[in-house]
């Protein structure tokens, strides 16, 4: 018998509901809850997730008490080196040899897509916190994964829309040449054009790239008002540094950092980044609850957390709470439990997990402070506006996910 994804998802959900409703003692596989943390630990994306993300995950495990319903929580970790093959092979080994229940972290979108294809139809769940491609819960959705922190759709909806509304009508896109960059370029182009702007040119650079000289020269030559950076991590840092050296802003063009992390702004300094608009899913200095958690993280790492690192803690804690409530580490049952109620904690406001696996929550438009405004090393953003959860993310009416009844 051949099942569609939708039929398979419905069958899994029904089985999960039956399991939870039976009241019988559900088993934890291997008498442990096993979590594998997979991320770039040494390359381009090291600082936005990397070892700091593993530290956030361990904080969640410790805060939860180290056990779930009497069974211990074990954590594995690996460096995927931003390679889809390395990531998929690592997870395959975890499944075959370690019986991992949850794969957490994941940054490069190509790695996440490869891993989620591998997990589709298995009894292992993935919660993706670092990747940006909106396709992960659109055409690449599966019943076995959740996309937690952010994606390219609200980045475009926030930053690109705000820049066009402020008069940035013509754009030149500088794009990382892989799944994430392509998705961000596509989403930004759509938002720019819908708001009356025009993308006059695009150039795609290899991932990662150290020398951005030729790309910045082409962007300058386009005459566009805005140079949109559809990249992340050290690629973004290198692009902004090169643009500064070439006097891009002084010549009358503006940079739009479409995926800027706290660590990027910290590394570049406020002199280079002041006034930059960006969209973020979280900021450490938003309120007392955020500050309290961020201070605990800082005491362990001597760095303030990025939105991805905060999201890893939140997603891990919500996963463990779902395992506890369902009294099983069965992937379908846990995902159903996680999607059963709202998510409101120090990280997420108005959060919920949709049927496509997208965790929607409020996003924020931020502006980088000037050196004069900043009161300390990590005092970097002014939050300008809240983008409500239901407006931030791609509406289900536009979804290509097989799990969604449009």
Report pLDDT digits (tens) over 47-61.
999 999 999 999 999
HSE of 106, CA atoms in CB hemisphere, 13 A: 37
By the 8 A CB rule, do 23 and 64 touch? no
Instruction: Name, in order, each residue with C-beta under 8 angstroms of 368's C-beta and a sequence gap of 6 or more.
Output: 265, 270, 273, 274, 275, 276, 278, 380, 381
| Other beta carbons within 10 Å of 286 | 18
DSSP per-residue codes, 186-201: HHHHHHHHHTT-EEEE
CATH number for the domain running over 153-280+363-392: 3.40.50.2300
Residue ranges per structural domain of the chain: 5-150+287-361, 153-280+363-392
Confidence of residue 24 (pLDDT cuts 50, 70, 90): very low
Cα angle: 90, vertex 182, 339; to 5 degrees = 60
Task: Tell me what pLDDT residue 267 has.
Answer: 93
Report pLDDT digits (tens) over 246-261.
999 889 998 998 999 9
Report pLDDT digits (tens) over 368-405.
999 999 999 999 999 998 999 999 999 999 999 999 97
Q: Is the pLDDT of residue 130 over 60?
A: yes
Q: Is the pTM of this model over 0.85?
A: yes
Least confident interval from 14-18, 297-301, 389-393: 14-18
The domain covering 5-150+287-361 belongs, at the CATH homologous superfamily level, to Response regulator (3.40.50.2300)
Report pLDDT digits (tens) over 62-85.
999 999 999 999 999 999 999 999
Structure tokens at 149: 């922190």
Q: Give the integer Cα–Cα distance in Å for 228 and 220.
A: 12
Instruction: Tell me the average pLDDT of the chain.
Output: 92
> Which range, 26-35, 95-104, 275-284, has the best average confidence (pLDDT)?
95-104
The yes-or-no answer to whether 5-150+287-361 and 153-280+363-392 have a common fold is: yes
Q: Give the integer Cα–Cα distance in Å for 260 and 396.
A: 26
Across the range 98-127, mean pLDDT stands at: 97
Q: In whole angstroms, how far apart are CA 291 and each of 47, 256, 282?
A: 20, 27, 11
């Amino acid at each position: 018998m051949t099942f569609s994804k939708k039929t398979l998802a419905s069958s899994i959900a029904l089985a999960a509901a039956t399991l939870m409703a039976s009241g019988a003692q559900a088993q934890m596989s291997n008498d442990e809850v096993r979590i594998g943390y997979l991320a770039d630990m040494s390359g381009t994306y090291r600082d936005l997730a990397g070892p700091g993300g593993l530290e956030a995950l361990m904080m969640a495990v410790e805060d939860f008490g180290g056990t779930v319903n009497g069974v211990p929580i074990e954590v594995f970790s690996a460096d995927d080196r931003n390679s889809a093959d390395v990531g998929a092979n690592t997870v395959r080994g975890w499944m075959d040899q370690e019986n991992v229940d949850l794969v957490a972290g994941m940054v490069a979108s190509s790695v996440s897509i490869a891993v989620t294809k591998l997990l589709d139809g298995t009894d292992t769940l993935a919660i993706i916190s670092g990747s940006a491609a909106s396709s992960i819960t659109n055409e690449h959705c599966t019943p076995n994964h959740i996309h937690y922190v952010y994606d390219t759709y609200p980045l475009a909806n926030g930053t690109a829309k705000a820049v066009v509304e402020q008069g940035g009508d013509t754009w030149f896109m500088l794009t990382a040449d892989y799944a994430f960059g392509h998705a961000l370029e596509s989403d930004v182009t759509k938002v720019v054009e819908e708001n009356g702007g025009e993308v006059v040119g695009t150039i795609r650079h290899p991932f990662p790239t150290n020398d951005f000289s030729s790309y910045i020269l082409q962007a300058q030559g386009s005459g566009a008002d805005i140079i949109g950076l559809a990249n992340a991590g050290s690629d973004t840092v290198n692009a902004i540094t090169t643009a500064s050296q070439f006097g891009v802003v002084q010549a009358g063009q503006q940079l739009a950092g479409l995926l800027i992390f706290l660590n990027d702004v910290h590394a570049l300094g406020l002199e280079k980044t002041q006034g930059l608009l960006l969209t973020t899913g979280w900021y450490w200095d938003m309120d007392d609850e955020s500050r309290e958690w961020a201070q605990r993280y800082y005491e362990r790492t001597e760095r303030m957390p990025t939105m991805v690192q905060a999201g890893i803690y939140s997603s891990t804690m919500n996963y463990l709470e779902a395992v506890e409530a369902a009294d099983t580490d069965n992937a379908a049952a846990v995902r159903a439990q996680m999607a059963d109620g709202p998510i409101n904690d120090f990280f997420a406001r108005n959060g919920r997990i949709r049927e496509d696996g997208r965790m929607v929550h409020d996003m924020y438009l931020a502006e980088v402070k000037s050196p004069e405004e900043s009161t300390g090393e990590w005092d970097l953003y002014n939050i300008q506006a809240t983008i409500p959860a239901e407006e931030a993310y791609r509406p289900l009416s536009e979804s290509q996910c097989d799990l969604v009844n449009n």
